[in-house]
Amino acid sequence: MSDYAAKVKPLRATGNCTLNYINEKGEKFIQSFPIRIWYIDSGKFCIYGDVLFNPRGICFAVSDEKYWVYAKPMGIYVKGTVNSAVDDYFSNPSLLVDFLRAEDSECEKIAFSKNGIACQGRQKQIFIDTCSGTVNKIIYIGQNSKPLLVIDAEKYEKVSDSDFLFPCSLGYEYYDKKNGKNRMEIKLDSVKLWQPEERQIAALFTLPVENEFKESKK
């Protein structure tokens, strides 16, 4: 996995995202929208969703150990410091690309199986394809020793003009103690190498002002 992670280069991708979630009142919602992804490395990437004719209506971003998540139509805006040690995984966007990281530093033991390698750490299990070195599944374990978040990475395809694969199908299941299971699915139709320019980085990774979200909620 460390060899695979070293090959991954900055990229941009487009596709569609579907959210199935339950709010605090127990109400179920399904929302689908186009998305765009810009990835520099596992510590700096962003996902923008096009909702209600706003190409940046929804955002998940990680940059310089900080993260922010917002949904303008709902007036939602959350920001913080990346910390994968907490149980609230779904509000930590850095885990969205955890399938691209090397597992060495977090694994206590590695076992082989017919489906690949199962890496059992204190907080998660990682299932790796032994042929390609890519991650197929990650299971995050909560304090109660039960699955808290499950990531499935499937349909890996070679990125043009590169020597690495990238999954075109991603699934995220989050088990909320109060509201049940939420799911997010991402289907990518285009993944290309990207040479980030300073002006693009500034435009994509500038922390938004909180006031604009308060105004959107009115």
Residue with tokens 């042929």: 131
Kind of pairing between the strands at 54-63 and 44-51: antiparallel
- Alpha carbon distance 88, 45 (integer Å): 20
Tens digit of pLDDT for each residue in 55-87?
888 999 999 889 998 888 777 788 888 875 555
Q: Provide the CATH number for the domain around residue 91.
A: 2.50.20.10
Residue with tokens 């460390």: 2
Comparing C-alpha atoms, which of 175, 183, 144 is closest to residue 21? 183
Return the number of other C-beta atoms located less than 10 Å from residue 189's C-beta.
Answer: 10
Q: What percent of the chain has pLDDT over 70?
A: 79
Q: Which residue has the higher pLDDT, 35 or 118?
A: 35
Return the number of other C-beta atoms located less than 10 Å from residue 115's C-beta.
Answer: 12
Dihedral pair phi/psi, residue 53, rounded to 5°: 65, 20
Q: Which of 40-44, 98-102, 123-127, 145-149 has the highest mean pLDDT?
A: 40-44
Q: Can you give the pLDDT at residue 167? A: 96
Tens digit of pLDDT for each residue in 169-192?
999 998 876 667 789 999 999 999
Residue numbers of the domain that contains 121: 2-217
Q: Can you give the pLDDT at residue 80? A: 87
> Does pLDDT of 217 surpass 50?
no
Tens digit of pLDDT for each residue in 114-164?
555 555 555 778 888 878 888 888 888 777 777 888 999 999 999 999 999
The arithmetic mean of pLDDT across residues 51-57, rounded, is: 84
Count structural domains, the chain. 1
Residue with tokens 């006031």: 211
For residue 166, CA distances in Å to 25, 62, 188, 211 come to 37, 19, 10, 37
